[in-house]
Chains A and B, each alone.
Chain A
Amino acid sequence: MLVNILKASLVAGTPLLLATLGELITEKAGNLNLGVEGMMLVGAISGFALGFYFQNPYMALIGASLSGSFAALIYGFLTITLRSNQVVSGLSLTIFGTGLSSFLGTNFVGKKMPVEVINFFKPIEIPLISKIPIIGEVLFNQDIYVYFSYILAVFLGIYLFKTRKGLNLTAIGENPSAADAAGIKIDLYKYIHILIGGALCGLGGAYLSVVQVPTWQENITAGRGWIAIALVIFSKWNPFKSIYGAYLFGGLSIIGFRIQYLNISQNLLNMLPYIVTIVVLVFSSLNKSKEGSPPKSLSLPYFREER
């Protein structure tokens, strides 16, 4: 029972985790990209379309990540090179991505992923460790997308906090002028991380269309991009914390189906994710330490001349 709940939470949390990580590294570079929903949808349709045409799971993954990056490139060009308003650029990316995915998806409505792709994304049991009680079944008997997402979160955590490049990125997000003076190539860093962020959002969207619901339905993300943006704040710009954040929200979204026998009001269950968000925000703002505050230059365009 518990195992089933946790397993389903991981599945429901995976698209959130990928998108959260994507947005997290984007924000670490000092750019607030509100286009997550749009990038997820573009990734979802591209992943679906390529997987469907080539009947090949790798093509689906490549398609999803490249198209996510492409969408992020539009945003990057607007906000880094042209220094336009980040909020507006991000919002228009969401609108653009939603429309584009509907347009590209017209011919795919109701089509189902080929068996080759579905089989590739079936849960794979990892020998030995999947036999550990509870944890083994929950963590190590999942599809490769789930493995990839939590390994990636750990990897990104190490990258951000333990490597020189990661620290450079943090410096750009906190104080771009100082970083610039230290000889860090600001625009290059921003572009690279925004593009990677877009790729992750695209992959998150494609998890829904390629693995979880392997058919194409318009607007398949149903607002998950916005939750991902909130999760970045929830996890205090820390990839390790984003793992619990995403799985917690994934779990909250499905818990109602699993504990119906307890006779808890459905309306109350629907409120849970938002109550948790408020509680966490209250607690995190009570804590006055510097840790967990947003990157200082978030959403501010960087002009070298204005130092």
Chain B
Amino acid sequence: MKKLLLVLLSLILILSLAACGNDQGEEPSAEEELTVGFIYVGPIGDGGWTYAHNEGRLYLEENMNVKTIYKESVPETQEVEQEIRNMIDQGAEAIFATSFGYMDYIEKVSKDYPEVAFFHCSGYKTTENLATYFGRIYEPRYLSGIVAGLKTETNQIGYVAAYPIPEVIRGINAFTLGAQSVNPDVTVSVKWTSTWYDPAIEKEAAVALIDEGADVIAQHQDTTGPQQAAEERGVYSIGYNTDMAEMAPEAYMTAPIWNWGPYYVEQVQNVIDGSFESHQYWGGIEDNIVELAPLTDLAPDEAQEKIDESKTEILNDELLVFEGPIYDQEGNLKVEEGQNLSVEEMLNMMWFVEGVEGNIE
């Protein structure tokens, strides 16, 4: 009997606590707030691509009275459809999907839910309620190339890259052009890792580059693996995605970084106001969606001045990264003097500029 009473009492205690908790939880949602869903391709803890998107989500929560939900490590398969439907069941009225491979699935789901606003990062398919967004990361990559070009003494820069797709190739080309703008003798060697996410393999690719004589390591991956190789071998590195100073204090100079927050706030505001329209957003440095992380003390002294100069030129449209004359690896003139690559040509870029060592399959 005593035992029964005890159990009963503790049950009451737990239930009443739970009830209290519930009340507190519901308070902020008293006024109807918008739910925004985020689909991530990797874990937030990657310290790179997904981390940057999550910073954007946190920025959104800080600046607006909305509720956000997210799901990490969603594979680029049918599973993403399921996750999106789950989020909509939980009340999401705006969905941000942050990887290229989600494209076909999100296109399909967007047609089933015309009342929900969909945003797809880095894709090219749109529907009436599916917008795409991306940034001209090649602009800060060009600037980071300047830092690398000034820093290198062996005139060999290593570049660890995931897959030979236009997005990556565009970045390598912009980086190389930036390095060549201050150091015409520089070559950029590229190693493909065939993975977005394997810190150890990315590091080994960078070690191979360093063994071949590279003294600055740049990268297009989702983790900080390549930075660790530079740190261990006492050479310098350019990061990507986020400020990586803490992870490689003795190697890191700067990084082209993403700043998704402002775009998220702007678009969610549009959804709230009912003024959301499908669009294809490709913002540059002037929109703050991409930028170059602050230079560390390891960056060469003259770099800051050079970067400020080039950045101003980019902002004034005086400097377009892909302006002629540009030659490809075989020495063919690809962009004539006075010409620029069109957006279409940039989005389909499958050739390396002169000075890049590596193959595109």
The answer, yes or no, to whether B83 is at the interface (CB within 8 Å) is no
Q: How far is the CB of B233 from chain A (nearest CB, A)?
A: 12
CB-based nearest B residue for A265: B361
Q: How far is the CB of B66 from chain A (nearest CB, A)?
A: 23
The answer, yes or no, to whether B57 is at the interface (CB within 8 Å) is no
The answer, yes or no, to whether B273 is at the interface (CB within 8 Å) is no
The answer to whether A219 and B205 have CB atoms under 8 Å apart is no
Q: Which residues of A are found within 8 Å of B209, using beta-carbon distances?
A: 257
Q: How far is the CB of A125 from chain B (nearest CB, A)?
A: 17
The answer, yes or no, to whether B51 is at the interface (CB within 8 Å) is yes
The answer, yes or no, to whether A12 is at the interface (CB within 8 Å) is yes
- A213 with B361, Cβ < 8 A, contacts A12-B204, A218-B45, A270-B194 known: no
The answer to whether A110 and B246 have CB atoms under 8 Å apart is yes
Q: How far is the CB of A221 from chain B (nearest CB, A)?
A: 8
CB-based nearest B residue for A259: B208
The answer, yes or no, to whether B249 is at the interface (CB within 8 Å) is yes
Q: Which residues of A are found within 8 Å of B324, using beta-carbon distances?
A: none
Report the bound CA distance from A256 to B46 in whole Å: 24
The answer, yes or no, to whether B197 is at the interface (CB within 8 Å) is yes
Q: Which residues of B are found within 8 Å of A208, using beta-carbon distances?
A: 199-200
Q: How far is the CB of A52 from chain B (nearest CB, A)?
A: 13
The answer, yes or no, to whether B180 is at the interface (CB within 8 Å) is no
Determine, out of A88-96, A101-109, A184-192, A229-237, the stretch whose residues face the partner at the interface.
A101-109
Contact with B along A111-129 (1 / 0, CB 8 A): 1100000000000000000
Q: Which residues of B are found within 8 Å of A267, using beta-carbon distances?
A: 361
The answer to whether A254 and B45 have CB atoms under 8 Å apart is no
The answer, yes or no, to whether A140 is at the interface (CB within 8 Å) is no
Q: How far is the CB of B168 from chain A (nearest CB, A)?
A: 13
The answer to whether A214 and B228 have CB atoms under 8 Å apart is yes
The answer, yes or no, to whether A222 is at the interface (CB within 8 Å) is yes
Which of B164, B192, B204, B205 has its CB near the most chain A CB atoms (within 10 A)? B204
Report the bound CA distance from A241 to B265 in whole Å: 57
The answer to whether B361 and A110 have CB atoms under 8 Å apart is no
The answer, yes or no, to whether B237 is at the interface (CB within 8 Å) is no
Q: How many residues of A contact B (CB 8 A)?
A: 34
The answer, yes or no, to whether B76 is at the interface (CB within 8 Å) is no
CB-based nearest A residue for B189: A260
Q: How far is the CB of B53 from chain A (nearest CB, A)?
A: 14
The answer, yes or no, to whether B47 is at the interface (CB within 8 Å) is yes
In A200-226, the 8 Å CB interface with B consists of: 208, 212-220, 222
The answer to whether B45 and A222 have CB atoms under 8 Å apart is no
Q: Which residues of B are found within 8 Å of A287, using beta-carbon distances?
A: none
Report the bound CA distance from A47 to B164 in whole Å: 35
CB-based nearest A residue for B245: A110
Contact with A along B145-183 (1 / 0, CB 8 A): 000000000000000000010000000000000000000
Report the bound CA distance from A112 to B47 in whole Å: 12
Contact with A along B210-244 (1 / 0, CB 8 A): 01000000000001110010000000000000001
CB-based nearest A residue for B225: A213
- A220 with B200, Cβ < 8 A, contacts A110-B47, A110-B247, A266-B192 known: yes
Q: Which residues of B are found within 8 Å of A256, using beta-carbon distances?
A: 191-192, 194
The answer to whether A112 and B44 have CB atoms under 8 Å apart is no
Q: Which residues of A are found within 8 Å of B228, using beta-carbon distances?
A: 213-215
The answer, yes or no, to whether B121 is at the interface (CB within 8 Å) is no
CB-based nearest B residue for A255: B208
The answer, yes or no, to whether A81 is at the interface (CB within 8 Å) is no
Contact with A along B242-259 (1 / 0, CB 8 A): 001011110000000000
The answer, yes or no, to whether B195 is at the interface (CB within 8 Å) is yes
Q: How far is the CB of A145 from chain B (nearest CB, A)?
A: 13
Residues of A within 8 A of B (CB): 4, 8, 11-12, 15, 102, 105-106, 109-112, 208, 212-220, 222, 253-254, 256-258, 260, 263, 265-267, 270
A-B contact pairs, 11 of them (CB 8 A): A8-B204, A12-B201, A106-B45, A109-B44, A216-B45, A218-B44, A219-B43, A220-B199, A222-B195, A254-B201, A257-B208
Residues of B within 8 A of A (CB): 42-47, 51, 73, 164, 191-192, 194-195, 197-201, 203-205, 207-209, 211, 223-225, 228, 244, 246-249, 358-359, 361
List 5 A-B pairs, minimum CB-CB distance, nearest first. Answer: A218-B45, A257-B208, A218-B43, A109-B45, A222-B198
Given A102-B43, A110-B47, A110-B247, 6 further pairs, Cβ under 8 A:
A8-B207, A106-B45, A213-B228, A217-B224, A260-B359, A270-B194
